[in-house]
Chains A and B, each alone.
Chain A
Amino acid sequence: MSSEPSNQPSSGRDISPSPVRATKPVARSVIVGRRIRVGDAWAYFLAFVLGVALLAAFVGYHLTSSYRGEMAYWKARQSSVAYDRAQRVSDWLNERRADAELFSTRPSVQDALRAHYNSNRPAKRPTDGPADLTPVLDQMARVYRYVGVYVLDHDAQVVAQSSGSLPLSPLLKEIGQKVARTGMFRMDLLGDAPDKTLASLSVPVLPEPGTAEARPSGQPLGVALLVFDAAHTLFPLVIREGVPTRTGETVLVRREGNDIVFFSPLRHVPAGSRSREGLAAGLLVLLLGGILVFHRRHVLTRVLKQEGEKFRRLLESAPDSMVVADSEGRIVLANFQTERQFGHPRDELLGQPIETLAAERSRPEYRERFHRHAADLSYQHSGPCMAPLGLRKDGSEFPIEVLMTPLESPEGVFLISAIRDITERKQAEETLRKSKAALEEAQQIAHLGTWDLDIANDRAWWSDEMYRIFGVDAESFVPTLEASIHCMHPDDRELVASVLKEAFEGAKPYDIDYRIVRPEGSERAVHAEEEIRRLNAELEQRVVERTAELAAANKELEAFAYSVSHDLRAPLRAIDGFSQAIVEDYSEKLDDQGKGYLARTRKAAQRMADLIDDMLSLSRVTRWEMQREQVDLSALAGHIVADLRQSEPARNVEAVIAGGVVAHGDRRLLEIALQNLLGNAWKFSSKQPRARVEFGMNNRNGQTVYFVRDNGAGFDMAYADKLFGAFQRLHAQGEFEGTGVGLATVQRIIHRHGGRVWGESAVGKGATFSFTL
């Protein structure tokens, strides 16, 4: 839209005449200069409104940021509506004007006028004229829905009129005279019919160049006057076309000097306006000489174009998705980032509930938070971030953080949600968590404890391994410096204290050996290296060294395992084999007791072989080089259960395996973990008449938790801490077989994945083992 409509070129002839003032009761008119394009004129009107509003922005400088938000909302909604309608009105007017002009150049019209003038003189062709023109006018009225079509002479005497049209009113006569005098196209409102909104289009009938004229040169022959009912022709365009609205009012307004003229007689006929399908027409924000004149009704639309534009740009350039929703939670505005992040085109989002953007399971939380904000505006800026999951159009989910800020406005409460994609942050957190877990494990393997001391506050932090080395309980022991020294052998305390003191004061590293006395009384020799951390480089160096030590330890472990694997089993084979040989070859020399002893010997040998195998598999799990990939746990569980069924075909076990459970991890290790868990479930439910084994997945606090459940013997939660220790068993060998390595193996696998594993049960109530990855 042009912001400088007054600069449109206009010839001297086209000076607009004074309009009919709004203050006059007779009529309200919009006068359009002939050479000014009607579209620009309307653009000028709107630009004026915007200009007015800008001034209002200065007046309302103190308005709060929430007000600006509101502006943006309305602006977004209204500017497109306003533009669209202005365009339609402009187009419509242009068409009508073209019609009228075309009509005025019709030979039949011109002939009729000439005949009219001639007939006023001594009649030359008395039969010509109006009688011939009526069918033409009737047709025109019918086709274009004109209430009346008139052809007037230069003195506004009716030369011809469509049949059924009213006699020319004094107002129309006055308009006709003006057009005849000025030769300008005009449109007028004829507020003289109580049940209609009549308007007229008047166009001069100009003689064809070169024809002999009855009128002085340059003077119009007459006037063509078309009367229409705006309620049937123009208003529907404004009300219904484009974006339908039941509440929005539309401004068709123009300033004339100190007056405002507006094309909406309905404003002055309230009863009439309400009777028209609830149309509330005409909105006006008017500033005259610095005085704000507000319309007496609600100001529904405030268009602050520049403020709105600023806000819009701000919104568009925001790195987060910005979504404005009304108090019902329907989206009324979304920025570009929203489109990009969620994959929804903006048009699709408008009018949708805000939780469209949240994953199914985050929706209740999202909705609840939304309504709390909407109900209590004091939540502004204080609302903590929440971390639900966003949902893209393609169905994929991603972690988001949402900050909601309410906006209060006369139209109700709106909420601006700033939605941030926190996938990367989550990943960073996860990486940190895993590296911490890995460090813990590394310390555990290397029997290396570390501690930090805040000297000023005598507050220390111990790594988990420290508690293990010192043999104290992490829950109850408070690791102050004094408490640490108290753990040491009495003979060494002084030495350690002085070395520490020196280290603290001189910031000198130390390297000492001392003894500690564990609570149960055993002594341990401890080697301590201490340094006041000044440089991270030293720390990194230590990490390198420890990594090398760990690698060496790992290699040693591997050699050990290899040796065990080869050498430890051979004697067992001999024990078993020769016992069997005795039974076979010398059975007649043995009584039952002797045979029984040999049977026990063999059984013990076999159990030891099992222990060795499990121990090796446990160490293998530690040494195994992990390769992460997508693993279909459902399929793995299915195969494992099938194997279990095959191994014990006589058992009838109901297995419930959830489909589509996938995880990111090492296939081989996860298979071993599931083998152990499902194997346990299978084993411990063996005494149930209707055994049931279940594998599935659920979500706890946004984390995926995998579980294996059975309805078997269960265990006493009092011993839950022993579950995952190697060679720990909660059942007698006679009750359930096993070496007690399975869960230790599972735990090691899960820890290597950076996850957590735990068991829940009650005796006789079955057990559930859950893990995260």
Chain B
Amino acid sequence: MDDKVILLVEDNPDDEALTLRALKKNNFMNEVVVARDGAEALDYLFAMNRYAARDIREWPAVVLLDLKLPKVSGLEVLRKIRSDERTRAMSVVILTSSKEEQDVTESYDLGVNSYVRKPVDFAKFVEAVKQIGLYWLLLNEPPIPPRRA
């Protein structure tokens, strides 16, 4: 599973660094693609603009998606993923600060696979990332992208 990439959608460079550090501390060696806003995430996923050369059928092992993002919000990104035939079955985990009920409810309404709140305590954050990685990168049998592009 090491060959598969992880798409991290995160606008906060601190959180980005901490997430990468947490992945590293847990010895996940997957390539991590970082999208710094919702629009960039959509470009990557749907192989548009600077990612136009990418094969849309190469799904990341998991999308770690923040909710509060510049340009296009995390929920909007999720909605686009779920409403497109080509990306519908993709594994998406919300990784965010908020545990506001409306966020949790809407995320699940839109069909998110998991919702994880980032703990302030870094040790706990590392543990959370470890669990996410163990599950989505190792344990979970990934969905198969549709053949036709």
Contact = CB atoms under 8 A, between A and B. Distances in A.
B68 to A, nearest CB: 4
Contact of A561 (B18, B96, B100): B100
B149 interface: no
Q: Which of A577, A606, A609 has the most CB of B within 10 A?
A: A577
B14 A566 contact: no
A605 B120 contact: yes
Q: Which of B67, B102, B119 has the most CB of A within 10 A?
A: B119
A576 interface: yes
B12 interface: yes
A315 to B, nearest CB: 59
A721 B46 CA distance: 60
B121 interface: yes
A567 B120 contact: no
Q: Which of B12, B68, B99, B120 has the most CB of A within 10 A?
A: B120
Contact of A569 (B102, B120, B122): B120
A667 B119 CA distance: 27
B18 A577 contact: yes
A581 interface: yes
A570 B15 contact: yes
B105 interface: no
Interface string A556-589: 0000011001110111111011111100000000
A620 B99 CA distance: 11
A573 B67 contact: no
Interface residues of A, number: 23
B77 to A, nearest CB: 16
B98 A573 contact: no
Contacts of B71: none
B53 interface: no
B97 interface: yes
B72 to A, nearest CB: 16
Contact of B97 (A570, A576, A579, A605): A570
A572 B120 contact: yes
Contacts of B18: 573-574, 577-578, 581
B123 interface: yes
A666 B119 CA distance: 29
A573 B68 contact: no
B99 A573 contact: no
Given A573-B15, A577-B21, A581-B21, A566 B121 contact: no
A609 B14 contact: no
B68 A574 contact: no
Given A566-B67, A567-B68, A573 B100 contact: no
A606 B123 contact: no
Contacts, number: 64
Contacts of B102: 562
Interface in B4-31: 12, 14-15, 17-18, 21
Contacts of B99: 565
Interface in B84-142: 96-102, 118-123, 125
Interface in A611-654: 616, 620
A604 to B, nearest CB: 11
Interface residues of B, number: 22
A648 B121 CA distance: 20
A602 B102 CA distance: 29
Nearest to B99: A565
Given A565-B100, A566-B67, A566-B98, A573 B123 contact: no
B97 A565 contact: yes
B125 A577 contact: yes
Contact of B120 (A562, A576, A578): A576
Contacts of B123: 580
A577 B98 contact: no
Nearest to A610: B120
A569 B21 contact: no
A565 B68 CA distance: 11
Contact of B122 (A567, A573, A620): A573
Interface string A460-474: 000000000000000
Contacts of A565: 97-100
Interface string B54-66: 0000000000000
Contacts of B98: 562, 565-566
Q: Which of B14, B96, B97 has the most CB of A within 10 A?
A: B97
Q: Which of A561, A569, A571, A581 has the most CB of B within 10 A?
A: A569
Given A566-B67, A578-B14, A581-B21, A573 B96 contact: no
Contacts of B118: 569, 573
A562 to B, nearest CB: 6
A579 B68 CA distance: 25
Contacts of B100: 561-562, 565, 616
A620 B101 CA distance: 9
B75 to A, nearest CB: 12
Contacts of B67: 566
Given A573-B15, A577-B14, A581-B21, A566 B96 contact: yes
Q: Which of A566, A572, A573 has the most CB of B within 10 A?
A: A573
A570 B122 contact: no
A605 B119 CA distance: 11
A579 B21 CA distance: 13
B14 A576 contact: no
Contacts of A572: 120
B121 A606 contact: yes
A252 B120 CA distance: 100
Given A561-B100, A566-B97, A573 B120 contact: yes
Nearest to A624: B101
Contacts of A606: 120-121
A602 B122 CA distance: 9
B105 to A, nearest CB: 13
Nearest to B14: A574
A620 B122 CA distance: 26
Nearest to A574: B14
A572 B118 CA distance: 11
A602 B125 CA distance: 13
A571 B97 CA distance: 11
A571 to B, nearest CB: 8
A567 B11 CA distance: 12
A576 B121 CA distance: 6
A571 B101 CA distance: 22
B14 A570 contact: yes
Contacts of A567: 68, 97
Nearest to B11: A570
B126 to A, nearest CB: 9
Q: Which of B99, B121, B122 has the most CB of A within 10 A?
A: B122
Given A566-B98, A580-B123, A573 B21 contact: no
Interface in A262-298: none
A569 B15 contact: no
A62 B21 CA distance: 104
B29 to A, nearest CB: 19
Q: 3 smallest A-B Cβ distances: which pairs?
A: A574-B14, A609-B120, A577-B122
28 contacts: A562-B102, A565-B100, A567-B97, A569-B118, A570-B14, A570-B97, A572-B120, A573-B15, A573-B18, A573-B97, A573-B118, A573-B119, A573-B120, A573-B122, A573-B125, A574-B12, A574-B14, A574-B18, A576-B122, A577-B18, A577-B21, A577-B125, A579-B122, A580-B122, A580-B123, A605-B120, A606-B121, A620-B101
Given A569-B97, A571-B14, 16 more contacts: A562-B100, A565-B100, A566-B67, A566-B96, A566-B97, A570-B12, A570-B15, A573-B15, A573-B118, A573-B119, A574-B14, A577-B17, A577-B122, A581-B21, A606-B120, A606-B121
